[in-house]
Amino acid sequence: MDEVGLVSHLIACVGFGGLAAALLVRRQQTAASLWLIAAATVTAAWAGVVALAIRYGGDYLILVSPAETLRSAAWMAFLVSLLARSWRLSERLSSSFVIAVVMGFTVAAQLAIDFADELTGVEAAPGIAYLFLLARLTVAIGGLVLVHNLYINTAESNRWSIRLLCTGLAFLFGYDLNMYTLRFLSGALSWDLFAVRGVANALVVPLIALSAWRNRLWELQVSRQVVFHTLSLMGIGGYLIVMAVAAWALRALGGDWGSLLQISFLVATMILAAVVVFSGRFRASARVWINKHFFAYKYDYRQEWLRLIATVSRSGPGYGGLAERAIQGICDIVDSPGGALYVPGEDGSFELAARWNYRNLVPGRVEADNGMLSYLGDRGRIVHVDEMRRGGGDYGAITAPAFVLADKKAWLIVPLIHLERLAGFIILERSRAHRDLNWEDFDLLRTVGRQAASYIAEAASQAALSEAQKFDEFNRRFAFIMHDIKNLVSQLSLVARNAERHADKPEFRSDMIATLQGSVGKMNDLLARLAQHNSGKPDEAAVVDLTAIVGAVVAVKGRAHETLSLMASPPELRVAGDPGRLEQVFTHLIQNAIDASEPDARIDVTLRKDGRMARVDIADHGSGMSPAFVRNELFKPFRSTKTGGFGIGAYEAREIVRGLGGRLDVVSREGEGTLFSVMLPLAAEEDERKRA
């Protein structure tokens, strides 16, 4: 097995040495590529030291563990160098110094443990051996955390170039984690795992080399979330190490009570950690600290914008209305726990429209002449309520309303500007953690305020448009009904004129009574239809005899035009539709034919079956229409060639026919006449039985 370990680590030494040499001959080098060369060189040296220790033993054994520490530290330094651009370490020398000191101290402490473990032995100092294993596990886990966060937080367009690197380094740290975990559990090192460790490490050389070829300059776009996640996990890891050391000390020093003290201490620290981690104030403070010390800019603007859009666009139970979601989107930017939206009323004053989690606010009214409204609208500036209370800032004689100044939690007032007009403002509750605001905070809040104003204005416009559409639909229906009433008035006027000459005839009186009764019934039907539309109930269709409906219309209109004739073949055609509306269609079309014809001109109405459709042709020999009029004017509402006409008869007839699944065609020639053809689908026998 010694020979296996020797050959295995010699292979690793040659592999990583060759990788370092290949990278070194490149002409253009960056800080990250130099760290990669250093990591490959240190790894080659580590493998060589292990091979010498296996072959010769002696003093080389003391160097094995320190060499491994330097190898792991070099790879972690390389990972940090990849994050340096996102952290802007070159612009923040203090942050660079802190990281360098922390890493140097960590490596020095690990080296001290390495030498102490090798010099004293496990049996002489079991506590040092325990710390040695704990440190090794922590380093392996830390390396995996860095690799994981580097991959998932790298821009998707760059992930292909680092996928092999992350795979190789994850295998390198994962192998160490597995080997030392088994040693921690069993109390002894697995020689098999240790012997083949060199070859296992050498296998990642091609992956790293290919990734280095893809990234000659190692210029990666890394999300700022990697910093928060990485530091959070590193903090958790450090916390666990401290707690484990403290628990071990309690057990060692506590005698018979050691186990009880150890368990009680661990449970208490776990509860404390849970309280801290799930605290909104703690997370807010952590973000402020990270933004302050690691970044030149406070915000990842892409991330903030995507979060705002996601918050505003959510819908469903529990998310509230658009106003509440807009407030939440702005509050999340500065970690404010709540806010209130004020919008202008009809008299120009601003009143509370919505709130999100701002339960303690006592809402008030902001009058239209309040100077703060002019400040917000004309200048588009953020009002810092604390500054206004202290008399600072450039507010001059402007002051916030009394109910705002009286609320100690009122923090910022964000204007909502839309089309250069103040569409509202949001009062933000004080943030969970103290934060110093600068130009970047105010610029971002002003920008998202404009975006939120556009969302709210768009929603208001959509509501107004929907309301207008309801009125438009009602007006259209009312216009149709007025047109039908006009036809009934014309019919009653004809009866009134004829009454002067034929009132003494019993037949006329009988016909007049029938006409009056029919007109009253139609008027009641029209009013019922108008009320039905206003209630939102849909028209109910029934299977009706089309021949009977057309025949009734022809019989009524034939009194005014004796040459009007009807021919039906077959004698019965059944369609699905509202009988009153079908009667309107043919009343309009036949009346138009009468109006366009001379008193003695023939008008032919023909009913027949045309495949699965019922066809009604209304042919007159009147004045006719030009193709341009048929194409551009005939079916346009409110355009009529008749004196006093509404111009919606043909339009309404076509809309009714289309609503029943049919169509209305017209062929006309000037001076020759017009043919209207109504095509309606025949009712299926099954539909007839269902409606029977």
pLDDT tens-digit series, residues 415-432: 999 988 999 999 999 998
Q: How far does CA 167 lie from the centroid of its chain?
A: 33
Q: Which of 203, 209, 201 is nearest to 165 (CA)?
A: 209
pLDDT higher than 50, residue 124: no
pLDDT at position 43 is 94
pLDDT at position 274 is 58
CATH match for 2-222 among 1.20.1070, 1.10.760, 3.30.43, 1.10.3470: 1.20.1070
Q: Pairing relation of β-strands 564-569 and 603-610?
A: parallel
pLDDT higher than 70, residue 256: no
Is the dihedral angle over the CA atoms 232, 238, 244, 249 positive or is it negative?
A: negative
| Superfamily of 307-456 according to CATH | GAF domain (3.30.450.40)
454 vs 181, higher pLDDT = 454
Instruction: Give residue 605's pLDDT band: very low, low, confident or very high (50, 70, 90).
Output: very high
Q: Which of 318, 362, 368 is nearest to 343 (CA)?
A: 368
HSE (side-chain half, CA atoms, 13 Å) at 245? 13
Sequence-ordered strand ranges (E) for 339-409: 339-344, 350-356, 383-384
pLDDT at position 338 is 94
Lowest mean pLDDT of 113-122, 148-157, 299-308, 518-527, name the range: 113-122
Cβ(50)–Cβ(9) below 8 Å: yes
- Cα–Cα distance for residue pair 398/105, rounded to 1 Å: 55
CA angle 490, 493, 497 (to 5 degrees): 140
- How many helices and strands, by DSSP H and E, does the chain display? 24, 12
Lowest mean pLDDT of 132-136, 283-287, 388-392, name the range: 283-287
Amino acid at 173: F
16 vs 102, higher pLDDT = 16
Q: How far is CA 632 from CA 250, 657, 659, in A?
A: 96, 19, 22
pLDDT higher than 90, residue 214: no
pLDDT higher than 60, residue 94: no
**Count of CB atoms within 10 A of residue 459's CB?**
14
Cβ(366)–Cβ(372) below 8 Å: yes
Write out pLDDT tens, residues 651-681: 888 988 998 999 999 999 998 999 999 999 9
Q: How far does CA 182 lie from the centroid of its chain?
A: 46
The phi, psi pair for 110, rounded to 5°, reads: -65, -40
List beta partners, residue 544.
575
Cβ(488)–Cβ(459) below 8 Å: no
- Cα–Cα distance for residue pair 428/413, rounded to 1 Å: 6
Q: Where are the alpha helices (DSSP H) in 57-155?
A: 60-87, 93-120, 126-152
pLDDT at position 496 is 81
pTM of the shown model: 0.43
Mean pLDDT of 128-155: 77
Instruction: Give residue 47's pLDDT band: very low, low, confident or very high (50, 70, 90).
Output: very high
What is residue 268's three-state secondary structure?
helix
Residue 347 per-residue DSSP state: T
List beta partners, residue 428.
339, 412
pLDDT higher than 50, residue 87: no
Instruction: Give residue 617's pLDDT band: very low, low, confident or very high (50, 70, 90).
Output: very high
As a whole number, the mean pLDDT across the chain is 79
519 vs 274, higher pLDDT = 519
Quick one: tokens of 230?
């990485």
Structure-derived torsion over alpha carbons of residues 655, 656, 659, 664, reported in degrees to the nearest 10: -70
pLDDT higher than 70, residue 262: no
- Cα–Cα distance for residue pair 648/626, rounded to 1 Å: 19
Cβ(616)–Cβ(607) below 8 Å: yes
Write out pLDDT tens, residues 451-468: 999 998 888 888 778 777
Query: Can you state the angle between helices 579-596 and 506-535, rounded to 10 degrees?
Result: 120
What is residue 38's three-state secondary structure?
helix
Instruction: Give residue 314's pLDDT band: very low, low, confident or very high (50, 70, 90).
Output: confident
390 vs 482, higher pLDDT = 390
- Cα–Cα distance for residue pair 66/44, rounded to 1 Å: 14
Write out pLDDT tens, residues 56-75: 887 788 888 889 988 998 99
Quick one: tokens of 604?
């032919």
Q: Which of 382, 443, 450 is nearest to 416 (CA)?
A: 450
Residues contacting residue 207 through CB under 8 Å, at least 6 positions apart: 164, 165, 167, 168
CA angle 510, 516, 519 (to 5 degrees): 140
pLDDT at position 344 is 92
Q: How far is CA 587 from CA 481, 593, 653, in A?
A: 13, 10, 9
CATH match for 539-691 among 1.10.10.10, 3.40.50.720, 3.30.565.10, 3.40.50.11400: 3.30.565.10
Which H or E run contains 606?
strand 603-610
State yes or no: cis peptide before 570, omega within 30 of 0.
Answer: yes
